[in-house]
Amino acid sequence: MAGPLEGLKVVEMVGIGPAPFCAMMLADMGAEVIRIDRPGNASVVASEDSRYDVTARNRRSLAIDLKKPGGTETVLSLLDKADAVIEGFRPGVMERLGLGPDTCLARNPKLVYGRMTGWGQKGPLAHAAGHDINYIALSGALHAIGRPGEPPVVPLNYIGDFGGGGMLLAFGVLCALLEAGRSGKGQVVDAAMTDGAALLSAMMYGFRADGSMNNQRGENLLDGGAHFYNTYACADGKYVSIGSIEPQFYAQLIELCGIDDPAFQSQRDPHGWPMLKYRLADVFRTKTREEWCALMEGTDVCFAPVLDWDEAPRHAHNLARETFVQIAGVTQPAPAPRFSRTPAAVPAAPSAPGADGAAILRDWGFDRLAIDGLKENGVLG
């Protein structure tokens, strides 16, 4: 492996969504992350082909039956040698498996124990089931996304699972590892998607406090209320995005659109936004998306075409920056961010669950007799 986290050893208790995303981020940056799967466990994606389980890339997989004698002790032996562990189960599950933080930290006092849940390790909802949509609803974030008078729009699972979940856990684990390097002591990182989604809304809560953002979705500066911060359909049915917030950028938008209507001079008056959106929509319908790109792309209008999943990897800017890579025939985002001295390597394709068990144990200090014994006892899948 290569990257700024080379030499870091992490154990991932396999789950779905945010914890694997966190593990992917760490592995992309050079950490050695091994996945603990359940024997016979299929890939978390719909396809049986592990290549498509993109967030499982860059890690080897070890299948351990924790119900068999010796299963829990095998994981504990791995954690004795690890810098961090990541798990995404409901509160109490790891404790019932004999792998709770008290047990692990007693054996390895420097271990950073990363816990990823929706509601957190404590609170009235801590043990309830939930998904991204529920966590961002409770934080206030979901309420703000959508058009006026319409139900909130589900923003895929970006905010709770990945931004407010996986990235938050990665940040927390690395903070704790940095502190452990100074103190020699590990600790538990309690990353909750409700907390993370709320944190992502920090600026919005500031806007609410000073009165510059109201509680009605689709009526504010950044939620589609403003005509100069919106998406518009073109003559070919494709869309463009406009973000001309600053006055000088707005002036260029008006110039390149060929607009001479004096009503557009009142940029910041919210009362005029609905009417100006309709008028600007009429303007954008006069050209195709390609024609608008030729006119505005690369200018200070703050413009970009709205690209679909197939178009984005082919865009000239993304190609120049190598924003996307192809691994085992699967197009996917490249590791980010970029580092000048310790760049990340091209990720390896995801392993099938349990595919690397014996090799991992050997590399982590298990001798051949011990590995053979685990196989014979059905511990190693």
Amino acid in position 328: A
Amino acid in position 201: S
* Residue 161 designated active-site: yes
* Residue 282 designated active-site: no
Of 45, 40, 46, 41, the C-alpha closest to 56 is 45
**Residue 364 is inside which H or E element, if any?**
none
CA–CA gap between residue 223 and residue 217 (Å, rounded): 7
CA–CA gap between residue 354 and residue 371 (Å, rounded): 14
SS3 334: coil
Contact predicate 343/330, CB 8 Å: no
CA–CA gap between residue 212 and residue 23 (Å, rounded): 38
Catalytic residue among 132, 161, 195, 356: 161
CA–CA gap between residue 107 and residue 116 (Å, rounded): 22
Catalytic residue among 131, 282, 317, 372: 131
Residue 53 sits at φ, ψ, to 5 deg, of -85, 70
CA–CA gap between residue 119 and residue 129 (Å, rounded): 9
Q: Which residues are catalytic?
A: 131, 161
